């Protein structure tokens, strides 16, 4: 996009209407080393004891080194949310959309002319480097402020997603990217970046087992790194939530479980409590990939669980933990508030 543009293109698929969207007395000099050592030792002991106590509290979230994608470590949170929301809306891979943003402007952080004001030597502008003529056809008012601002990532990122979709993505990614920038080296670069964003940041998810349970875990794993959104998540994918999640497109815990099992052929009730009472329970030790694992959580109890995840193996689950976090992999076996397991049937 930085070196060429398209003067006339078909209109975008649609126009997003929603916002995309922590005194002691002075000792004698000769005693100072002893005092300091004693104080440091006491602080360390307190920290260890607090950690041990917290793991015993119901609802306390104790993840293992969470496995997600590498993207959150080098993409600004605002941009990451916009990439994922726009990708879900237009049906293109978020990793590819983010890779375009990285290649064009380092997610709006690049010092080159044209990123935040003006244009570059070829006339392209904004974080996604649109040519003016292309922007005329594909500009999007993504944050519903009444302005299609080429420099605003809330507008430019969904516009780029729309452009890629019209260019053939996701079925013909190379073609769509070549249309975005007529340079085969550019296409290779973007796909390489996208692959790194989509790759797990820790050990790859090894999905054991077969059948619908594994299909459910595969469906849930597709959304690793997606924001938690209270009340969010539909049968087709992430949605805006309610309350605290009203401006966040993503999933809550039961929404993720429901989405995943719907892809496997079974539609579950919407809430965690409803799922616990509707799905047949299985004894501990019999759990398989895709089974639901329930916890008291911060607001539940033994007969009214407040959190649910999907079993990956004998130790790990995939979950949407809580507001402010993202879908991740964590260990369910170390949770002290585990209530039980359930296995959806057809």
pLDDT of residue 7 exceeding 90, the answer is no
pLDDT at 63: 39
The dotted CATH code for 72-198 is 1.10.530
What's the whole-number mean pLDDT along residues 280-291? Answer: 95
CA distance 197 to 220: 17
Which one is predicted more confidently, 319 or 209?
A: 319
% of the chain at pLDDT higher than 90:
56
CA distance 253 to 256: 5
- CATH class of the structural domain 205-342: alpha beta
pLDDT at 88: 77
**Eight-state DSSP code of residue 64:** S
DSSP lists the bridge partners of residue 200 as 69
pLDDT at 196: 85
What would the two tokens of residue 11 be?
């209109």
Domain residue extents for the chain: 72-198, 205-342
Against a cut of 0.75, is the pTM above it? Answer: no
pLDDT of residue 304 exceeding 90, the answer is yes
Q: Residues 57, 336: contact at Cβ < 8 Å?
A: yes
What's the whole-number mean pLDDT along residues 268-287? Answer: 96
DSSP lists the bridge partners of residue 69 as 200
What's the whole-number mean pLDDT along residues 160-183? Answer: 94
What would the two tokens of residue 59 be?
């609802």
State pLDDT tens for residues 178-203. Answer: 999 999 999 999 999 988 887 655 44
State pLDDT tens for residues 116-131. Answer: 999 999 999 999 999 9
What's the whole-number mean pLDDT along residues 230-238? Answer: 93
pLDDT of residue 1 exceeding 70, the answer is no
State pLDDT tens for residues 55-108. Answer: 333 333 433 334 444 445 688 888 988 998 888 788 888 889 999 999 999 999
**What is the Rg, in whole angstroms, of the alpha carbon atoms belonging to the chain?**
24
Query: DSSP string covering 83-109, please?
Result: HHHHHHHHTS-HHHHHHHHHHHHTTTT
pLDDT at 138: 96
CA distance 240 to 220: 17
pLDDT at 68: 47
């Amino acid at each position: 996009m930085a070196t060429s543009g398209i003067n006339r293109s078909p209109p975008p698929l649609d126009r997003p209407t929603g916002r995309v969207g922590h005194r002691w007395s002075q000792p004698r000099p000769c005693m100072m080393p002893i005092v300091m050592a004693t104080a440091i030792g006491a602080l360390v002991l307190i920290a260890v004891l607090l950690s041990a106590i917290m793991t015993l509290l119901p609802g306390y979230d104790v993840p293992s080194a969470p496995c997600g994608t590498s993207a959150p470590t080098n993409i600004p949170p605002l941009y990451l949310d916009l990439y994922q929301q726009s990708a879900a809306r237009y049906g293109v891979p978020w990793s590819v959309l983010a890779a375009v943003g990285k290649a064009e402007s380092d997610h709006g952080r690049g010092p080159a002319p044209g990123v935040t004001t003006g244009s570059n030597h070829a006339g392209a502008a904004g974080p996604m480097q649109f040519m003016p003529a292309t922007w005329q056809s594909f500009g999007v008012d993504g944050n519903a402020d009444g302005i299609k601002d080429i420099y605003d990532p809330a507008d430019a990122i969904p516009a780029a997603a729309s452009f890629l979709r019209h260019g053939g993505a996701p079925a013909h990614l190379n073609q769509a990217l070549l249309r975005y920038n007529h340079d085969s080296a550019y296409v290779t670069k973007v796909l390489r970046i996208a692959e790194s964003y989509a790759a797990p940041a820790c050990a790859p998810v090894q999905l054991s087992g077969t059948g619908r349970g594994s299909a459910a875990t595969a469906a849930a794993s597709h959304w690793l790194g997606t924001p938690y959104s209270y009340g969010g998540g539909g049968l087709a994918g992430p949605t805006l939530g309610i309350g605290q999640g009203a401006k966040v497109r993503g999933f809550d815990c039961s929404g993720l479980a429901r989405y995943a099992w719907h892809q496997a052929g079974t539609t579950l009730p919407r809430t965690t409590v409803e799922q616990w009472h509707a799905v047949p329970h299985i004894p501990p030790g019999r759990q398989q990939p895709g089974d639901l694992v329930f916890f008291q959580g911060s607001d539940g109890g033994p007969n009214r669980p407040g959190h649910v995840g999907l079993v990956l193996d004998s130790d790990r689950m995939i979950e949407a933990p809580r507001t402010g976090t993202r879908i991740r992999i964590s260990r369910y076996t170390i949770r002290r508030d585990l209530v039980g397991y359930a296995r959806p049937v057809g």
